[in-house]
Amino acid sequence: MKYTIGIGALALAVGVGSAFAQQPPPRPTGQQPTAKSGTAKAGAAKTGSDERFVKEAATGGMAEVELGKLATDKASSGDVKKFGQRMVDDHGKANEELKTLAQNKNITLPTQLDAPHKARVDRLSKLSGEAFDRAYMQEMLKDHRKDVNAFRTESTSGKDADVKAFASKTLPTLEEHLKLAQETNRAVGTSGTAAKKPTSSKGKR
């Protein structure tokens, strides 16, 4: 009887010891788990607003390039053609920089235009000559006013340092685009003023 009880006690002791052996060592007080901290999305933009800015900037940049190509082909004004080529060059370069930034932040960029931008490209593609010049420059004024505001906001209020730096770097170029769009717009007469017209034509309406 005593022998049976001794065997049972030994088995119980071994079982308890095995259970303790399977448990992980106690963590020092106050220490947090580190298995996944900062690894799942180490490169991701810190806030949803930064990621949204990157995606919208990518879509807008693609649209500027597509519209710029249309301008170099369909515009009748040399100024408008020149403006369109500037959009292709500058926004094409910015788009490449944005792709690199997005890859580093684990952000998936759109690969094609969304419905509103595609509709604008389709609409302008059906125009030509002076009608195209006027419609295109009106779009460029509207686009670049919006872009300047968006990039200025991100450059001052962005949470992710890299996205914020991209916005700050690109903003002066967009501001220059807006100024150039205003001048070209007046040159093709879309503003309803006589600005940019030769002096000899001041009295002619």
pLDDT tens, position by position, 105-141: 999 999 999 999 999 999 999 999 999 999 999 999 9
Contact call for residues 51 and 107 (beta carbons, < 8 A): yes
202: three-class secondary structure by DSSP? coil
What is the set of domains in the chain, with CATH numbers? 48-188 (1.20.1260.10)
The amino acid sitting at 202 is K
Residue 100 in this model has a pLDDT that exceeds 60:
yes
What digits encode the pLDDT tens for the residues 28-55?
554 544 444 443 444 455 568 999 999 9
**Helix 48-74 / helix 161-187 crossing angle, nearest 10 deg:** 30
The model's confidence at residue 189, banded by pLDDT at 50, 70 and 90, is confident
Question: Residue 193's pLDDT is what?
Answer: 39
Residue with more model confidence, 190 or 161: 161
What digits encode the pLDDT tens for the residues 49-93?
999 999 999 999 999 999 999 999 999 999 999 999 999 999 999
Question: Residue 19's pLDDT is what?
Answer: 44
Average pLDDT rounded to a whole number, residues 85-106: 97
- Report DSSP letters for 100-160, one per residue: HHHHHTT-PPPSS--HHHHHHHHHHHT--HHHHHHHHHHHHHHHHHHHHHHHHHHHHH-SS
Question: Residue 26's pLDDT is what?
Answer: 53
